[in-house]
Each structure stands twice: as C-alpha cells, then as structure tokens.
Amino acid sequence: MVTATLILLSLLVPLLTALGIALAGRWPNMREGVTLTGALLLALVVYSLLPPVLAGERPEFTLLDMMPGISLAFRVEPLGMMFAGVAAFLWPVNSLYSIGYMRGNQEQHQTRFYICFAIALFAAMGVAFAANLVTLFVFYEILTLSTYPLVTHKGKSSLKAGRVYLGILLFTSIGLLLPAIIWTWQATGTITFTPGGILGGKVSGVALTALSVLYFYGIGKAALMPIHRWLPAAMVAPTPVSALLHAVAVVKAGVFTVIKVAVYVFGLETLQSAPGIEWLLYVAGFTILVASTIALYQDNLKRRLAYSTVSQLSYVVLGAAILAPISIVGATLHIVAHAFGKITLFFAAGSIYTAAHKTEISQLNGIGYRMPWTMGAFTIGALSMIGVPPAVGFISKWYLLMGAFEAHQYLAFGIIIVSTLLNAAYFMPIIYAAFFRPEAPGKPDDYGHGEAPWPIVVALCITAGMTLVLFLFPEIPYQLAIQVGR
C-alpha cells in the first residue's frame, strides 16, 4: 500500500509544485524555492520506489475508471522506473540550471515557465508509470500540451515553430496512435501492458505490420523520420526546456513508449512474426544516418544538438527494432545514457548563450579557455554520444551491438559503425574549436565574459559527472534494463 501511495505522490508532487509556483509567482526567490523543493521531493519519492522495483515488486495503483474496462491506472515496472528515475534525477539539476539561465538571460514569464515545467514533469511521471495504453496516451498528450507554452516561450517569433511542434505531435498521436490503441482494445479486449505482449494470437499477418506502423509513427515523440521536424523546431524554446524536455522527458517519453509498446503490447516474438517488420529497422537506421548527416551541416549549436537527438533517439528505436531481448536492454540503457549526455550538451549550449550570447558553432573559437568547466562537460557529453569509454554511452552501445549480433542484424552493426563516425565528425570539431582555435579578434568587450553563473556550472558538472559515474557504476540501470529485456 505504501508503494501505491508513492505512485500517487509521484504524480501529486509535481502538480502541487505547479500550484505552489503559481501561488508564489510574485516572489521569485520563494518561487524558485518551491520548484527546487518540489523537484527534490519528487526525486525522493521516485527513488524510494526503486528498491521494491529492483526486488521484483510491481507496485500498482488505480486512480479512476475512465470508461468501462478502461481505467487510469499505474504500475511501476523496470522500464518505467528507469524513465521516471532519469527524469526525477534530472529535474532538480535542471531546476538549478533554469534558475541560473532564466535569471541570467532576464527571460519573461518565468512563473509560467516553471509551472509548465512542473506540469510536464507530472506528465512524464504519468507516462512512466502508466499501466495501460490509455493512461499512457493521456499523459503523453498532457506532455505535448504542457510543453507547448514552453516551446513558444519567446512569443510571436516562435509561433511557427510552435505550430510545427504541436501540429506534428498532435496529428501523429491523434491520427495514428489513438486508432492503434483503439484497434488493440477492439482486437484484444485489453490495453494493459503485459510482459510478453497482448497482441500475440489476436492480430497477425499484415494487419500486425500495419498496426506497428500506426504505433511507431503514432509515437511522434520518438522522432522517426520524416516526422522528426518538430524536434529541431522546438529548439526555439529556452535552453532548459531543450535540455530537460527535448533531450530527456519529451523525447524519452517517445522512445520509452516505443519500447513499452514493442515489449508489453506486441511482445518481441509476436513482432518477429509480423511480415516486413524490418521496416522499423530500416527507418530507424535511415533516421540515424540522415539526421547525423544533417547535424554535420548545422552551424547553430542547438540545432546540431537537436539533429543529434533525432539520430540518437533512433538508436533506441533501432534497439527495439532489432527485436532481441539484449537489444532491448541496450535500448533501455540508451535512454539513460543519452539523457545524461545530451542534457549536458544542452546545458553547455545554454551556458555559452548565457555567458557569451553565442549560438553558432563558428563563434566558439577559443571559448574553452574562458569557460573551461562548460566545455569540459561538453566534451564528456560528446564522448558519451559517440559511445566511447569512459562515458556511459559506451554501455548502451555495447548492448545494442550485442543485440544486433544475437539477432544476426548485421545491418544494424553497419549503421552503428557509420553513425559513430558521423557523431564524432559533428561533435569533435566543436571541442576542437573551443580548445584549440584562437579566439577571433573582436571588440574587447565581446570577450569580457568568463563562466556562466554558478547554478549553471554546477548543474552541468553534475550531469557530466553522472555520465562518467554511470559508466563506472552502471549497476542500477543495468539491473533494471535486464529485467526489461527478460
């Protein structure tokens, strides 16, 4: 019963935090205090769910019955625990960062910003712990809607991007995901996530493949090409949003759902039986390579990171598409690995913007000496993206490769090789420019800056440190991932 309360709390805490922020909106210090307290509390709540889940418990909680046979219900299983754990860990860090960033850049509407953030976290928790497809869908949509004001934070100039963002996410989820869910319900009479899947024996043949298309393209947040456009568009948001939401919570909700659907709705064996299911592998591979290539040509740092995210998300999808239990482990771990790595990179981008007001890579020459911590963290994050030790990206790549060999998907191996090179090709020049190119001569006041405000630096050091720590001590995510793959 205690665990059920914890689930409820994990939803309530962010909601109450949002309320508290609204009430404290007039006093910035108090407002930020509420955010931080809420974030830390959430982390506490979520992490107290971890031991029972690791021990094999699956806490459940039903909030209310929505329709006959369909309820808003929650069930904590390892994959959701992993996702929630990552989001809950990063929220306090990101809050700290946001404080530095939003104040450093004198952004408008900060109260609204923090409220929406808290609601987005509420939605992320709901997605993570959803026990059935409808609950997941509900929170998935809340996540979309609550992040819309964040994307359009800058007002009219971000309107077009916001349209793309909302348009693609709502179109795919309502147009594809919803019918897929209803189809599943119609075919099986259940929508509850079940280990081994629920569609086995109920839907088969081409219909199964069609259903997989509906699902995996319906999950627009996974940003498979060609419906990835919302993600680069979302980069108009303030950097903390890009960092926690568009590198972690929102996009991970997407790939998380992909794994969840693959494992708990289809079931790997059922998916294997679908004719032409390789399409997912091809699409994921295509996305990985093409997005990386596009990233190569982006001069805007955040856009490059965004395309990198598109590519990295497809690593997770690739892991699911390989359809081997071990690749699922890899995909699950990649959710964690990419989260910590990419949030570090975005933090660094925001740090640069705050301290130096630079957004383009071509402006970054020599910045490593002015902002050693920022660029040091960036380096670690980039290494994690490339997947080289001693960063956690290596571990997920390890299991993805192992899955590829287990399932004899040598194509996947080839994709990972090329993608590693592309990753290096678009990240390393940034590091090089920061540390080895001399600063361009300019007006002296252009270069009067040093590091960003301390909350920013602390936050990005924590996340960069975590990519190293998780490499050295991967035990907890590994145990969770193994339970998913099993």
Query: According to CB under 8 A, which one of 15, 170, 469, 476 is a site residue for another protein?
Result: 170
Angle at 286 between CA 467 and CA 274, to 5 degrees: 100
Q: Are 279 and 221 in contact (CB under 8 A)?
A: no
**Does 179 interact with another protein (rule: CB under 8 A)?**
yes
For tokens 């959701």, the residue is 80
| Sequence-distant (≥ 6) Cβ neighbours of residue 262 within 8 angstroms | 268, 271, 320, 323, 328
For tokens 């059935």, the residue is 132
- Copy the structure tokens of residue 267: 């079931």
**Does 47 interact with another protein (rule: CB under 8 A)?**
no
Closest separation in Å from C-beta 94 to another protein: 25
**Does 32 interact with another protein (rule: CB under 8 A)?**
no
Query: According to CB under 8 A, which one of 76, 326, 331, 392 is a site residue for another protein?
Result: 326
Query: According to CB under 8 A, which one of 68, 441, 442, 448 is a site residue for another protein?
Result: 68
Within residues 418-447, the interface with another protein by CB under 8 A covers: 420-421, 424-425, 428-429, 432, 435-438
Q: Which stretch binds another protein (CB under 8 A): 87-95, 114-122, 334-342, 395-403?
A: 395-403
**Does 478 interact with another protein (rule: CB under 8 A)?**
yes
323: left (phi over 0), alpha (psi -120 to 50) or beta: left
Among residues 16, 32, 153, 147, which one has the least CA distance to residue 96? Answer: 32
Residue type, 393: G
The span from the CA of 31 to the CA of 65, in Å, is 35
Q: How many CB atoms lie within 10 A of CB 189?
A: 10
Query: According to CB under 8 A, which one of 20, 341, 387, 485 is a site residue for another protein?
Result: 387
Considering the complex, state which of residue 41 and residue 236 has its C-beta at the smaller distance from another protein.
236
Within residues 275-314, the interface with another protein by CB under 8 A covers: 297
**Does 178 interact with another protein (rule: CB under 8 A)?**
yes
For tokens 């259940």, the residue is 190
Within residues 78-137, the interface with another protein by CB under 8 A covers: 134, 137
**Does 182 interact with another protein (rule: CB under 8 A)?**
yes
Distances (CA, A) of 431 to 27, 323, 465: 40, 36, 18
Closest separation in Å from C-beta 404 to another protein: 8
DSSP codes, 139-196: HHHHHHHHHHHHHTTTGGGGHHHHHHHHHHHHHHIIIIIHHHHHHHHHHHS--B--TT
**Does 205 interact with another protein (rule: CB under 8 A)?**
no
Q: Which stretch binds another protein (CB under 8 A): 75-83, 153-161, 314-322, 443-451?
A: 153-161
The span from the CA of 170 to the CA of 218, in Å, is 9
**Does 386 interact with another protein (rule: CB under 8 A)?**
yes
Residues that bind another protein (CB under 8 A): 64-68, 72, 134, 137-138, 141-142, 145, 152, 155-156, 159, 163, 166-167, 170-171, 174-175, 178-179, 182-183, 185-186, 297, 326, 383, 386-390, 394-395, 397-398, 401-402, 405-406, 413, 416-417, 420-421, 424-425, 428-429, 432, 435-438, 474, 478
